[in-house]
Structure 1
Amino acid sequence: MKIVIINTMLFTRHALCFIFTLFVVKISCTDLCLENNIHALILARGGSKGIKLKNLAQVGGYSLLARTIKTIKNSSCFKHIWVSTDDKNIALEAQKFGALVHHRPLQFARDDTPSIDAIAEFLNSHTTIQDFALFQCTSVFLKTNYIQEAVQKFESHDCVFAAKRSHYLRWKMVDGFLVPAEFNLTSRPRRQDWKGDIVETGMFYFSRRRLVDIGLLQNNRCSIVEIDANDGLEIDSGHDLTMAKYILSSRTKIDL
Structure 2
Amino acid sequence: MAAARKRTLSGFEDVIDRKTTIFKDSGEKIHVAALILARGGSKGIPLKNIKVLAGVPLIGWVLRAAVDSKQFDSVWVSTDHDNIEKVAKAWGAQVHRRSPEVSKDSSSSLDTIQEFARLNPEVNVICHIQATSPCLHPFHLKEALELITNQGFTSVFAVARQHHFRWQEVKKGGSVATKPLNLDPSNRPRRQDWDGELCENGSFYIHTRATIEKGLQGGKWAYYEMLPEYSVDIDVDIDWPVAEQRVLRFGYFGLDKPEAVRLLLCNVSGCLTDGRVLISVSGEEMVSVNTRDTTGIRMLQGEGVEVILISSSEDLTKALADKLSQRTGCEVRQLGKDIQGEAKAMMDDRDLGWKEVAYMGNDAPDVDCLNLAGLSAVPRDAPVVAINAAKYSCHNVAGLGAVREFSELILLLKKKAKSQMEQDRIHRDTF
TM range (shorter): 0.7 to 0.9
For the 8 Å contact 1:131–1:208, the answer to whether it is kept is yes
Q: Which residue of 2 aligns with 1:99?
A: 93
Aligned amino acid, residue 64 of structure 1: L
Change (3 A) 1:253 1:80: closer
Q: Any stretches of 5+ residues in structure 1 without a counterpart? A: 1-34
Which AA in structure 2 matches 1:187? Answer: N
Q: For residues 197-228 of structure 1, what are the alpha-carbon distances to aligned partners after superposition, in whole Å with 9 as ceiling and x for unaligned?
A: 000010000111212212x2103622222111
Corresponding position of 2:38: 44
Aligned ranges for residues 31-180 of structure 1 at < 5 Å?
Answer: 37-155=31-149, 156-176=152-172, 177-180=177-180
Are 2:186 and 1:186 aligned?
yes
User: Match of 2:207, SS?
Assistant: strand
- Equivalent residue for 1:227? 226
Q: Deviations over 1:114-165 (max 9, x none)?
A: 1101111111111222211000110110011111110111232111111100
Q: 1:175 to 1:252 in 2, by over 3 A?
A: closer
Q: Say whether the 8 Å CA contact 1:40–1:78 is kept in structure 2.
A: yes
Q: Distance in 1 between matches of 2:250 and 2:204?
A: 24
- Separation (CA, whole Å) in 2 of partners of 1:224 and 1:254: 22
Unaligned runs of 5+ in 2: 1-28, 255-431
Distance 2:230 2:251 in 1: 13
Alignment correspondent of 2:199: 199
SS at match of 1:55: helix
2:288 is aligned to none
Q: Any idea what SS the aligned residue of 1:241 has?
A: helix
Q: Of Structure 1 and Structure 2, which has the larger fraction of its residues in strand?
A: 1
Aligned residues: 220
**What's the CA shift for 1:174?**
3.8
Q: Which has the higher contact order (CA 8 A, sep 6+)?
A: 1
Distance across 1 between alignment mates of 2:251 and 2:87: 25
Could you give the per-residue CA deviations for residues 162-203 of structure 1, whole angstroms, max 9, x where no partner exists? 110011011113453311112223322221111110000100
Deviation at 1:36, TM superposition (A): 5.4
* Residue equivalent to 1:212: 212
- Secondary structure, aligned partner of 2:238: helix
**Structure 2 letter corresponding to 1:186:** S
Cα distance change of structure 1 residues 73 and 191 upon mapping to structure 2, 3 Å threshold? same
Q: What is the percentage of aligned positions where both structures have the same residue?
A: 34
Contact 1:144 1:255 in 2 (8 A): no
Q: TM-score, normalised by structure 2?
A: 0.49
Measure, in 2, the Cα distance between the counterparts of 1:102 and 1:254.
25
Which piece of structure 1 moves more, 130-139 or 220-229? 220-229
Amino acid corresponding to residue 211 of structure 1 in structure 2: T
Distance in 2 between residues matched to 1:46 and 1:243, nearest whole Å: 23
C-alpha distance in 1 between matches for 2:195 and 2:60: 35
1: distance between equivalents of 2:97 and 2:252?
Answer: 31
Q: Is the 8 A contact 1:36 1:78 kept in 2?
A: no
